[in-house]
């Protein structure tokens, strides 16, 4: 394969791969489409990707604590079909990425987008899963923002070139595999001395990281467990298994089925 010759001015061209048909260099809606609205206070527009799973975990955990105000209607946004570019979704999230949340308890309703922002918003709204003491709160936020900064190297970097790119290229796969393993080592070293990411208290930091790194070390993300030798990260696996056993996580799998076809995703039947 010949080296890529950089043009003086970049122009969009077909790139191939799973999401080639929906990638574009501009923002804004492509078509008119209103969003559905259900009966509950919170409206979640999402898909069962790791970022989408973060928010349903938080909502199910809040319901486990008895917060009736956390009842929500989940609506499927098919990103492979361009639902995220509908006018209604863009009005909630101008960045056209899932998940997006609409809180109808306020007038006008509050739009919340970016998964980390949604977790923080819900934690503050319900005063849950975010430590109140400043040192502990800071640790939780450190690891929440660590994930939002590190995650694109795992998903958009390693995941894209390893699983979705139309051709397998050695340089980007090596580059992002190395970074992914470094991130796993960061987590593994920290979790060797801490039960959860913020210390001894389960928090939104764990909810943000678990759908990515927990899924990775249990072989559920990109089918890359053997390739990345994830058995080396025993402390991450212990943490992942511990979280997976939580009742709210079990219920979350009924709503978000990340490895099923979209029609079976975001099907919520209650909190029982």
Name the phi and psi angles at 257, rounded to 5: -110, 85
Asked whether 257 and 263 are in contact (CB, 8 A), the reply is no
Is residue 269 over pLDDT 70? no
The per-residue pLDDT for range 193-243, each reduced to its tens digit, is 999 999 999 999 999 999 999 999 999 999 999 999 999 999 999 999 999
Q: How far is CA 188 from the centre of its chain?
A: 20
Does the pTM exceed 0.95?
Answer: no
The per-residue pLDDT for range 59-85, each reduced to its tens digit, is 999 999 999 999 999 999 999 899 999
Residue 153: exposed, middle, or buried by beta-carbon count in 10 A (0-12, 13-18, 19+)?
middle
- Cα separation, 27 vs 56, in Å, equals 26
Q: What is the chain's Cα-based Rg?
A: 19
Domain ranges (residues) in the chain: 134-255
Reduce the DSSP state of residue 244 to 3 states and report it. Answer: helix
- Tell me what the pLDDT averaged over the chain comes to: 92
CA distances from 199 to 119, 194, 195 (A): 18, 5, 6
Domain 134-255 top-level CATH class: mainly alpha
Is residue 144 over pLDDT 50? yes
Reduce the DSSP state of residue 102 to 3 states and report it. Answer: strand
């Amino acid at each position: 394969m010949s080296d890529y010759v950089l043009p003086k001015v970049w122009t969009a061209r077909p790139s191939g791969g799973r999401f080639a048909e929906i990638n574009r260099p501009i923002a804004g809606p492509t078509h008119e489409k209103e969003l559905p609205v259900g009966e509950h206070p919170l409206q979640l527009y999402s898909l069962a990707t790791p970022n989408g799973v973060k928010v349903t975990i938080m909502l199910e955990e809040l319901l486990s604590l008895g917060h009736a105000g956390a009842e929500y209607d989940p609506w499927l946004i098919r990103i492979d079909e361009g639902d995220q570019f509908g006018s209604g979704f863009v009005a909630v999230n101008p960045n056209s990425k899932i998940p997006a949340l609409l809180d109808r308890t306020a007038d006008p309703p509050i739009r919340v987008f970016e998964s980390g922002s949604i977790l923080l918003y819900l934690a503050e709204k319900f005063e849950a899963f975010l430590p109140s003491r400043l040192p502990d709160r800071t640790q939780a936020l450190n690891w929440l923002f660590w994930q939002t900064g590190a995650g694109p190297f795992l998903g958009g970097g390693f995941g894209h070139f390893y699983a979705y790119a139309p051709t397998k290229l050695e340089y980007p796969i090596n580059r992002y595999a190395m970074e992914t393993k470094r991130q796993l080592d960061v987590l593994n070293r920290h979790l060797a001395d801490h039960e959860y990411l913020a210390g001894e208290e389960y928090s939104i930091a764990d909810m943000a990281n678990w759908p990515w790194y927990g899924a990775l070390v249990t072989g559920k993300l990109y089918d890359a467990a053997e390739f990345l030798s994830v058995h080396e990260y025993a402390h991450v696996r212990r943490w992942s298994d511990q979280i997976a056993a939580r009742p709210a996580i079990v219920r979350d799998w009924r709503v978000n089925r990340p490895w099923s076809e979209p029609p079976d995703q975001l099907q919520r039947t209650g909190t029982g």
